[in-house]
Structure formats: C-alpha cells, structure tokens
Structure 1
Amino acid sequence: MRALGIGLIGTGYMGKCHALAWNAVAPVFGDVARPRLAMLCEVDDALAARRAREFGFAGSTADWRALVAHPEVDIVSITTPNAFHAEMAIAALEAGKHVWCEKPMATSLADAQAMLTAARAAGKVAALGYNYIQNPAIRLAARLIGEGAIGSVNHVRVEMDEDFMADAEAPFSWKSAAQSGHGALDDFGVHAFSLLKVLVGEVAQVMADMGKPYPTRPLQEGGARPVETHDIATILLRFASGASGLVALNRSAWGRKGRIFVQVFGAKGTISFDQERMNEIELYTAEGRSDLQGFRRILTAPVHEPYDRFIPAPGHGLGFNELKIIECRELMRTIAGEPAHLIDFETGLRIERTVDAAARSFREGRWTEV
C-alpha cells in the first residue's frame, strides 16, 4: 500500500488518540507503509504549530478548509466537537479525501444522511471512531455468540456510566448546549449501540426516557444557564431477531470512569464484559455437572488477535489507545479494498437512526420503530 498522507483536525483528547494511532500503526502491525503525517489543524496558528511538532506532523494550519484541500492529504481525521462533524466530513469527501470521523456521526439524522450521501457520491472510505468494537475481548465475545456458545440470544443489557458531568457546580460547556446533540444518548451512548450491532444485531424498536439531574449550570462570568441536553437516558430495545434489551446511560454517575457493562443472555449461557476491566470477559455455560457450573473469567492473550501485535504475553492487557491503533489498521484495510472490521457511514447511519428513534420515543412517550 502506498503511504497515506494524513490530515488531522483537532488535537484534544481524541485528536491526540488519532495522532498516536497514525504514528504507531506501522510499527505495531508491520505490514503497512508508515503514513505520512502531512498537515494538522487547530484553532489558532500557534497552537497548531506546537501540536504539529509534538505529534510529528510536517505542516500546520488554523484553517481546516486549507487542510482538506491540501494535495498531500489523502485521509482526514476529524476529532472536533460533534457539531462540526458533518460540515468537515462532507467537505473532505467532496475534495476526494477518505474520512475517519469520531463518533457520533452528527448531531442530527439529516446531517448524518447528508454525510452518507457525500460518501456514496465520492466513492471514498468514510469510517467512524467506534474503537470499543476493536477490543480483542469484544471480538472474542462476538465470535462465541456467533458460534452458539451461549445458545440463541434472548436478552441483552448495556450500562454505560461516567462521571465527567456529575459535578453540579461544573460550569456550562458545549456538552450541555443543544447544538451538541441530545446528550448522553448520542454523545457516548452511540458506543453502546455499536457494541449491540456487533454482538446482537439490528435494533427494530425502542422506548426511551431521558433526564436532567441538574436543570441549570453556572456560567464562568456569573449567573446560570439552563441545561439543554440530557445527561441520563434509559432505552428499552426490541431486536430484529426477537431478543429484548436495555441500555442505561449516565454521564453524571459519580465514581464511574469508563464503565460499559455488557451482559448477553442466551438459551445456554451468558457472556459479560466491563470496559473498566477491558481485558477480560466472563463466560457461563449451562453444561456439565451442575455443582461445578459457574462463570469462567477469560483474560485476553496473544491467541486473541490482534492482541499478539502488541504484547507476546497473556494477561498483560491493552488500553484505550491500543484499540484506536487497531481501528486505524482496519481503516487502512478498507482503503486497500480488503475485508475489515469497521463501522462505516452506512452502518453508522443505522446507529444514528436508532438514536433518532429513541429521541422521538422520549418526546412522544411510546414505542418507536427504528
């Protein structure tokens, strides 16, 4: 594969994560050309230049449109706040670039549809940052479910909790503004739907409730502003397969740092996973002697690909940034026309349709078709 020219827009939490992935993908996997880090964009020239030096990019700019148009850029990593995803992704695709956009796809279903339309018209790869599905533990869980290890799935629960919005005195930020989306439902709840997609399948119907634990937040300049998003969401699910489910989301849950607790219940057993213990799953199978039945903890190891690309010893564990490196390699596979484990804009739009249906369900107080 020819070395790809990389453009990165945004250098915050996820921007740095993308930069680490682009720097590491070649030495970790050893089967791709090292990407050329061509151009980086930040909100002002000084910050852009500093981040370019830190992250190893050849050039920098404060104009994201200049980055999108740059002839050395083949793929654009978009790691900006949610409200900017659609405009930037569409512009990049129309300029003939591949796109790697962080989740959520957009802050409205109409914008997400426009992004997919642009991707189809451009004929370029357009992928989304759902790196939790890349975890070797999640891949193992999906394989076990597909092989029938727990029988036919009849129910699934996902609890996703963090506490970055738990402090009632934290000042109003873009995450509490309506232009950022619905709140917990799409800000991070889309990760739950990505896991459900690879583990259980398509969601057919939803029934949702959402809540605001703090109706107002203080402003730094004094006073307060009403909170326009919902930090809590609970969604009942009916899957196309006939299984039922529950997703519970809370980004104001004191003490929870990165918890995504998944339980998949089947006719012959159960699989559970907790993102705060991301290198293991628990498997229960209703077989053998009843007095010896119990959950079996399985630690990820080199036998669970692509763990072996990082560490030659079992039980040592991968981290969040390693999942992004795996996702980066899957993106490069897609660009090369190879089979890949990735959520593209086509699948991403189905996730956005689930989010939109849940929001409509909350407004209308009824079960809603996806």
Structure 2
Amino acid sequence: MIRIGIVGCNYGRLVHLPAFRLDPRCEVIALAGTDAARAAELAQAASIPLALGSWIELVEHPDVDAVTIAAPPSLQPAIAIRALELGKPVFAEKPMAADVAGAMAMAQKAATSGRATMVDFNFSAILAWRKARVLLDEGAIGRLRHVTVNWNVENYGTRMRIKNWKAMGEVGGGALGNFVSHSFHYLEWLCGPITGLSARLTGLPDEPAMETNAAVSMAFGSGASGSLAVSCASYLGSGHRLEFYGEDGTLTLINETPDYMRGFELRVARRPERALAPIEITDPLDRDFPADGRIAPVSRLAADFLDAILSGQSARPGFAEGYRVQTLLDTARRANNTRGWLDTGPEVMEKQA
C-alpha cells in the first residue's frame, strides 16, 4: 500500500484526494496547508488521518511514501526536490515552477533520483482527447497542415479581480502559466515538437498587471503551423475549441460548456465527406463525479503515477515534459518582450540549458 501525502488544501483536497482514492493501491494519509488549524479541520472532514501545518512536516514524515503537490508554482521546486532527496515520488501541478531555473532543478533531481514523477497535464487524460490522438496518429486527416486553438472563458479570479499567482505573470501565472501551460503540453502531445513561436500577452484594460490574454503563433517540426488564442476574461465565452486541418480531412475537439474538462465533442471528416461526423465517447467514471469534471482525468494520471512507482518505470507526463513546457513558457514571454520570433526546437532548448 502506497501512503500518499497531499500538499495543498484547495485543489489538492478537492481533486487529488478523490482521484487517488479511486485506486486501491494507495491510501491518502496526510494533508498539509499553510494554516495548521484549517488543515486539521479539512483533514478531519475528509477522514484523512494526519493534518500538518507545513509542507516540510508532510514531506519528511516517515509514514508518507509519495507526495502530491497542489501549491503555487514558486513553491513547487523546493517541495518536490526535498521529497525526491528523501526518495519519495512526486505528483506535481502545472506549471511545475515559476521559471526555467526552478523547473530545471526539479527535472535534474528527478533524473538523478530515479523516482517516479508526474505533472498534472490533465487534458491528455480526457478520453475524447486520447481518441483524437489515436486518430491523428493513424492518419485520419492525413498530414497535418495547421492547427488552431481558441480558448475563451472567464475564470473566477478574473471576475472577482483576485490578484493571486493565477493572475500575475511575474510569479509564473497569468494566462501564460495558468492556461497556455496546458496548451503547450497538449499541442506537442498531439502534433509533435513546436520549433518556433511569437507571442503577445496582455491584461485587462484597467488592470494590465492581471495577465488575461495570450496570442501565440507557432511552427511545428512536421512543417505544420499553429495559432493559439487564450483569454480568461471572456464573459459567456465560446469555450475551448481545437481544430486540426490535414491534407485529407479535418478533426475538431470542441467544448462550449464552462466545465474545463467535461463536455468535449470529437468530430472528424475525411475527403470527400461534406460534414464533420461526431465520434461518441462515453466515460463511465466521469458520471460518478457530476460536480467536478476534473476528477476522472486526474484519476487516470494518478493510476499511471502509481503504476510507475510499483514498476520502477518512468511516468508520463513527467518532470521532463514539465520542464519542456516551462522552456516554451519562458520563450513565449521573451518573444512578447522582444516582439520577435524565437526558435523553440528541443535541440535549441538543450543548448540554452
């Protein structure tokens, strides 16, 4: 039985906890937060045996075998590195750090420790997305020509003008860290390496420090091009839309609901068909969590993480993938600042490291 400790009383408790509890190979035994009294209250309500007032206490507790982290990106490197030093596998949130240096330190420690690591890039664990990847890999639309992503929502933080890390680019958040980190991962997961990009980052007209919009142009190693437009300041926004255009057809993943994870419809057409045809995807696990569409996909990543721990194999997406995304985020911010086009091929990133 793998004994899990969770750092983070919000997303960690609301998503990591039920996701890991679905797997009988583990038991969540500890919860840590910055407020010891609140952590104790929440742990008791969730039937978690141990409540701790700091991440250090949790990571160093002898009964904790593996650690999950749901903390601001600036805090994750110290937590993850200490856990790995103690030989404890780590499941972290995205973005895995506030900057490239922190992400590199995490990735290097993961590589030398030999312990399983994972980053919660949960779109890749949605069943409709996994089917989309199979179709693209099988050549359902032929060679990819270009892909477009439009993601328009209004998140709670923007609506309430909450200036936490999720709103502020200088601490690893903003639209780039909070949203585009997901997009960079899933675009490379679906389409292969991004080899170059330009970016424009903006905020609210009256609160420019609150980074709410990102527009990115991309080139892929395959020769395909891509465009990405993300806004978390879109009241009644159109949702999350991905369109893949190939030489022989078109594939779309579209979610018009306010739920980030649930509601994606997969459609595909191949020449000479005249309309996109839906592909029905059912997720029986998702029905068990009607109030939160994040739990089912995270539970699949949790299962893969536990598989890696028990087998001694690496997990994906791991810290190597998280570091790659961090380099793309850094490059996008530099492209915004210089108003230029920057190379982002893996070989370029390796030379810069």
User: Structure 2 length as normaliser, TM-score?
Assistant: 0.89
Is the CA contact (8 Å cut-off) linking 2:199 and 2:217 kept in structure 1? Answer: yes
In structure 1, the partner of 2:61 is 70
Is the CA contact (8 Å cut-off) linking 1:209 and 1:362 kept in structure 2? Answer: yes
In structure 1, the partner of 2:350 is none
Q: Residue 343 of structure 1: SS of its match in structure 2? A: coil
Counterparts in 2 of 1:135 and 1:18: CA distance versus 1, 3 Å: same
Counterparts in 2 of 1:90 and 1:172: CA distance versus 1, 3 Å: same
Q: Residue 175 of structure 1: SS of its match in structure 2? A: coil
Is the CA contact (8 Å cut-off) linking 2:167 and 2:210 kept in structure 1? Answer: yes
Counterparts in 2 of 1:60 and 1:333: CA distance versus 1, 3 Å: same
Instruction: Write the deviation string for residues 214-235 of structure 1: whole angstroms up to 9, x where unpaired.
Output: 343xxxxxxxxxx535211100
In structure 1, the partner of 2:50 is 59
Q: How far apart are the structure 2 equivalents of 1:284 and 1:185?
A: 32
Q: Residue 23 of structure 2: SS of its match in structure 1? A: helix
Is the CA contact (8 Å cut-off) linking 1:166 and 1:253 kept in structure 2? Answer: no
Is the CA contact (8 Å cut-off) linking 1:361 and 1:367 kept in structure 2? Answer: yes
**1:261 equivalent among 217, 225, 241:** 241
In structure 2, the partner of 1:8 is 6
In structure 1, the partner of 2:229 is 248
Is the CA contact (8 Å cut-off) linking 2:192 and 2:222 kept in structure 1? Answer: yes
Q: Residue 5 of structure 1: SS of its match in structure 2? A: strand
In structure 2, the partner of 1:206 is 197
Q: How far apart are the structure 1 equivalents of 2:227 and 2:40?
A: 46
Q: How far apart are the structure 1 equivalents of 2:136 and 2:211?
A: 33
Is the CA contact (8 Å cut-off) linking 2:19 and 2:302 kept in structure 1? Answer: yes
Counterparts in 2 of 1:193 and 1:264: CA distance versus 1, 3 Å: same
Q: How far apart are the structure 2 equivalents of 1:186 and 1:368?
A: 18
Q: How far apart are the structure 1 equivalents of 2:53 and 2:268?
A: 49
**1:300 equivalent among 281, 290, 311:** 281
Q: How far apart are the structure 2 equivalents of 1:76 and 1:88?
A: 9
In structure 2, the partner of 1:222 is none
Gaps of 5+ in 1: 27-32, 217-226, 302-306
In structure 2, the partner of 1:282 is 267
Instruction: Write the deviation string for residues 261-310 of structure 1: whole angstroms up to 9, x where unpaired.
Output: 111111111111124363530111113xx5xx211011203xxxxx4666
Q: Within 5 Å, which residues of 2 pair with 1:20-59? A: 20-26=18-24, 33=25, 35-59=26-50
Structure 1 runs (4+) deviating above 4 angstroms are 165-169, 308-312, 338-341
Q: How far apart are the structure 2 equivalents of 1:7 and 1:67?
A: 7
By how many angstroms is 1:108 displaced?
A: 0.4
In structure 1, the partner of 2:351 is none
- Amino acid of the residue matched to residue 316 of structure 2? L
The worse-fitting range, judged by mean Cα deviation, of 168-177 and 7-16 is 168-177
Is the CA contact (8 Å cut-off) linking 1:279 and 1:300 kept in structure 2? Answer: no
**2:177 equivalent among 173, 186, 192:** 186
Q: Percent identity among equivalent residues? A: 27
- Amino acid of the residue matched to residue 359 of structure 1? R
Is the CA contact (8 Å cut-off) linking 1:178 and 1:229 kept in structure 2? Answer: yes
Instruction: Write the deviation string for residues 69-117 of structure 1: whole angstroms up to 9, x where unpaired.
Output: 1111111110012221111111111121100001111110111001111
Q: Residue 340 of structure 2: SS of its match in structure 1? A: coil
Q: Is 1:360 aligned to 2:345, yes or no?
A: no
Report the RMSD for the aligned CA atoms in angstroms: 2.4
Q: How far apart are the structure 2 equivalents of 1:58 and 1:111?
A: 32
Q: How far apart are the structure 2 equivalents of 1:299 and 1:274?
A: 13
Counterparts in 2 of 1:191 and 1:268: CA distance versus 1, 3 Å: same
By how many angstroms is 1:165 displaced?
A: 6.0
In structure 2, the partner of 1:30 is none
The structure that has the greater radius of gyration is: 1
Is the CA contact (8 Å cut-off) linking 2:200 and 2:214 kept in structure 1? Answer: yes
Q: Residue 96 of structure 1: SS of its match in structure 2? A: coil
Counterparts in 2 of 1:64 and 1:260: CA distance versus 1, 3 Å: same
By how many angstroms is 1:189 displaced?
A: 1.1
By how many angstroms is 1:16 displaced?
A: 1.5
Counterparts in 2 of 1:43 and 1:339: CA distance versus 1, 3 Å: closer
Q: Residue 228 of structure 1: SS of its match in structure 2? A: strand
**1:92 equivalent among 59, 83, 100:** 83
In structure 1, the partner of 2:253 is 273
Gaps of 5+ in 2: 345-353
By how many angstroms is 1:246 displaced?
A: 0.7
Q: Within 5 Å, which residues of 2 pair with 1:128-277? A: 128-164=119-155, 170-181=161-172, 183-216=174-207, 227-256=208-237, 259-275=239-255, 276=257
Q: Residue 124 of structure 1: SS of its match in structure 2? A: coil
Aligned pairs, number: 337
Q: How far apart are the structure 2 equivalents of 1:311 and 1:186?
A: 30
